[in-house]
Chain A
Amino acid sequence: MHSERAPLGLKIAAFLGLAFLHLPILLIFVYAFTTEDKTYQWPPPGFTLKWLEVTWNRPDVWEALSLSLQVASISTCIALILGTLAAAAVSRTMFLGKEAITLLVILPIALPGIITGIALRSAFNLADISFSTLTIVLGHATFCIVVVYNNSVARFRRISASMLEASADLGANGFQTFRHILLPNIATALLAGGMLAFALSFDEVIVTTFTAGQQQTLPIWMLEELVRPRQRPVTNVVAMVVVIVTFFPILGAYYLTRGGTDISGSGK
């Protein structure tokens, strides 16, 4: 049997690479507790829990957070329905133009976000639709479809057709088969896809800058702070909270789709 040890150099390079990926994010956690509030001074002169309280009492942060959660929930629901429908159609049948549909679903995420953003903005302008929560949702749902689609299409492929036929032979109609055979089988894939779509929408900023009116989602709030830093300590805390909040759906999605041959999140 082939059992060799990794060359030391390779091992070091691999772990250094992983360190490069993770240290910057960990840095956020240190900065959230610094006593310095005017600069990004390192090392922090001291540590305090004060900023957690300050952030907690900020209405603008809460408003942005609530809008982000609202947008992410609605977009995820729309994406779940549309993405699953498309996945069901593509995986269960053969038809002309199947490849074109796959491409159409992937396109919103394959093209740079700025193109999706400006395209939607100019279309809303042409159609005289005023910018609101609705326009943000329209944009988000469009690029969230692909995440749900990728997860469900992988799962649909692993459901054998004989199970569905067996169900039909036993007298179930199409809806009963869907309810009792198909749904339990794709449920975890849907949940995983939904979680990733939620994380994607919750975090999106490029398309949102084009489709939002006066409202601020949490990423838009952060972007303002990045361009014109006014309240560094509050931004540090918000950044830390965002890291923690997005951590769980990703971990959850991983455990739900583990064991499959397809990588659940590779479609971002």
Chain B
Amino acid sequence: MELSQPRGLLDQWSDLFWRKKAILLFILLAPPLLWLGVVYIGSLLALLLQSFFSIDEFSGLVNYEFTLKTYGELFLPANYDIILRTVLMAASVSIAAAVIAFPIAYYAARYARGKMKAFFYLAVMMPLWSSYLVKVYAWKLILAKEGILNWAVEGMGASILLNAVLSLPVIGGNSLSVSYIGTFLVFLYVWLPFMILPLQASLERVPLNLIEASDDLGAEKRQTFWHITMPLALPGLIAGSIFTFSLTLGDYIIPQIVGSSRRFIGQAVYQHQGTAGNIPLAAAFAVVPILIMGFYLWMAKRKGAFDAL
């Protein structure tokens, strides 16, 4: 019996790939790895390297000698405040997003069926994928002094209430569009879909028979929810918070457009690398979110949050 002989070049190649899987694997992996390894990892390392340089205070030129001085500058009160402020904002945005996302995700996972399910899915995907800048712009329209929110508040005769909130120290301001509350609202709006999707995914995976078993054993709805559903949904909640937290940490456009003049990490990075020309400090600032997210991801992995991604 004669097996089919290799006929042409393509046949010979496929035979080679079949016998030596490693060659095929190499050919498949080389282009993406070269791209990501050279363009991306290379750039990241270059950035990391620069954070160990420092800037000469008199000449304003970068001093290419290894030093930890730039990292030390992060702990100056002005810089430390920026980091603290950003982390607090990221935490509050994540918590608020979880609170608003939960009913949507829970309803979509437990009760929506058929057409309703598709509707919910699209209703979350559309805002997730629609233009980031358009979303920010929409909030600039909403929060403007002459905009719809103030109009509605006045219409309800609640101006006194709004002014009382705005006169609070720290979070208040002259108007919503130049206060932390405004920044917070825009962050919450823009990142909310990133919380809903993983949360819904983990809620979908809560086995119904566990809930029935809990009912059968005499638990009230509330008890079933807190003792069965919540612990099983926790990985989704953590996975969602990875997005909301990371995205808030690195954003510099939203606080620039809606917010007070006090800066966030992203703005500090942007200004130090741009107008200030202090690349080492910008790089050191950029390492902060990487470290925070590294720690966060490590914690999340231990809680099993990656299964919900």
Q: Report which A residues bind B (CB closer than 8 A).
A: 2, 5-6, 10-11, 13-14, 17-18, 20-22, 24-25, 27-28, 31, 39-43, 78, 81-83, 85-86, 88-89, 93, 95, 101, 104-105, 107-108, 110-116, 118-123, 126, 138, 141-142, 145, 168, 171, 173-177, 196, 199-200, 203, 205-206, 219, 222-223, 226-227, 235, 239, 242-243, 246-247, 250-251, 254, 258, 263, 265-266, 268
Given the known interface contacts A111-B290, A265-B129, the answer about A24 and B135 at a Cβ–Cβ threshold of 8 Å is yes
Chain B residue total in the interface (Cβ 8 A): 95
Query: Which chain B positions have C-beta within 8 A of A126?
Result: 46
Query: Residues of B contacting A226 with CB < 8 Å?
Result: 133, 136-137, 140, 253, 257
Residues of chain A within 8 A (CB-CB) of B147 are: 40-42
B43 interfacial by beta-carbon distance below 8 Å: yes
The answer to whether B305 has its CB under 8 Å from any CB of chain A is: no
Contact indicator B40/A116 (Cβ below 8 Å): yes
Q: Does B41 contact A (CB under 8 A)?
A: yes
Q: Is B173 part of the binding interface, using a Cβ–Cβ cutoff of 8 Å? A: no
Q: How far is the CB of A51 from chain B (nearest CB, A)?
A: 15
Across the two chains, which residue of chain B brings its CB closest to A36?
Answer: B146
Q: Mark B11-39, 1 if CB is under 8 A from A, else 0.
A: 10111011001000100110111011101
**Complex Cα spacing A245 to B96, Å:** 30
Name the contact of A83 in the complex, choosing from B25, B32, B100, B118 (C-beta under 8 A): B32
Known: A86-B32, A175-B10. A24 touches B133 (CB 8 A): no
B66 CB-CB contact with A under 8 Å: no
B159 close to chain A: CB less than 8 A: no
Chief secondary structure at chain B's binding surface: helix
Tell me whether A21 and B253 are in contact (CB under 8 A): no
Which among B15, B193, B266 has the greatest number of chain A C-beta atoms within 10 A?
B266
Bitwise interface map of B from 110 to 143 toward A, beta carbon under 8 Å scored 1, else 0: 1100000010111111111111111111111110
Contact A145 B32 (CB under 8 A): yes
Residues of A within 8 A of B111 (CB): 5-6, 10-11
Q: Is the CB of A223 within 8 A of B32?
A: no
Residues on B with C-beta less than 8 A from A258 are 118
Residue of B31, B35, B146, B246 near A112 (CB, 8 A) is B246
Q: Which residues on A sit within 8 Å (CB–CB) of B252?
A: 114, 206
Interface membership of B283, Cβ < 8 A: yes
Supply 18 A–B pairs (Cβ within 8 Å), ascending by A. Answer: A2-B212, A10-B107, A27-B138, A28-B138, A39-B146, A42-B141, A43-B151, A111-B246, A122-B273, A123-B47, A142-B39, A168-B18, A175-B14, A196-B129, A219-B131, A222-B137, A251-B122, A254-B122
Neighbour of B104 across the interface among A18, A39, A227, CB < 8 A: A18
- Interface membership of B304, Cβ < 8 A: no
What's the nearest-Cβ distance from chain A to residue B222, in Å?
Answer: 11
Contact A142 B47 (CB under 8 A): no
Contact of A17 among B43, B104, B137, B256 (CB under 8 A): B104
Asked if A171 contacts B4 (CB within 8 A), the reply is: yes
Query: What is the CA–CA distance of A186 and B154 in the complex, to the nearest angstrom?
Result: 55
Q: Quote the shortest CB–CB distance from B89 to chain A (angstroms).
A: 13
Determine how close the nearest CB of chain B comes to the CB of A159; give it in whole angstroms. Answer: 15
Residues of B within 8 A of A25 (CB): 127, 130, 134-135, 138
Chain B, residue nearest A239 (CB): B134
In the complex, the answer to whether A93 meets B21 with C-beta atoms within 8 Å is yes
A5–B113 CA distance with the chains assembled, in angstroms: 12
Contact assessment for B29 and A223 in the assembled complex, using a CB-CB cutoff below 8 Å: no
For the residues of A in contact with B, the DSSP-based class is helix
> Which residues of the other chain, A, contact B132 by a CB distance below 8 angstroms?
203, 205, 219
Contact B129 A27 (CB under 8 A): no
Contact for A219 among B39, B101, B127, B133, CB less than 8 A: B133
Residues in chain A near residue B187, CB distance under 8 A: none
Q: Does B144 contact A (CB under 8 A)?
A: yes
B265 to chain A, nearest CB (A): 8
Which of A21, A113, A239 has the largest number of chain B CB atoms within 10 A?
A21
- Residues of A near B250 (CB, < 8 A) are 111-115, 206
Complex-state Cα separation, A105 to B10, whole angstroms? 30
Q: Which of A5, A95, A223 is B25 in contact with, Cβ under 8 Å?
A: A95
Taking a contact as CB atoms closer than 8 A, the residue among A78, A111, A223, A265 that contacts B125 in the complex is A265
The A-contacting residues of B in range 78-128, CB under 8 angstroms, are 100-101, 103-104, 106-108, 110-111, 118, 120-128
In the assembled complex, B219 has its CB within 8 A of some CB on chain A: no
- How distant is B145 from chain A, measured CB to nearest CB, in Å? 8
The complex places the Cα of A14 from the Cα of B100 at a distance, in Å, of 8
Which of A10, A114, A123, A141 has a CB less than 8 Å from the CB of B266? A114
Contact of A6 among B17, B18, B107, B141 (CB under 8 A): B107
Chain A residues positioned under 8 Å from B35 (CB to CB)? 78, 82, 141-142, 145
Shortest CB-to-CB span from A151 to chain B, Å, is: 14
Question: With A14-B104, A105-B36 in contact, do A118 and B286 touch (Cβ < 8 Å)?
Answer: yes
Cβ-defined partner of A24 (8 Å) among B39, B43, B138, B194: B138
Enumerate chain B residues within 8 angstroms of A22, measured Cβ to Cβ: 123, 126-127
A85–B110 touching, CB < 8 Å: no
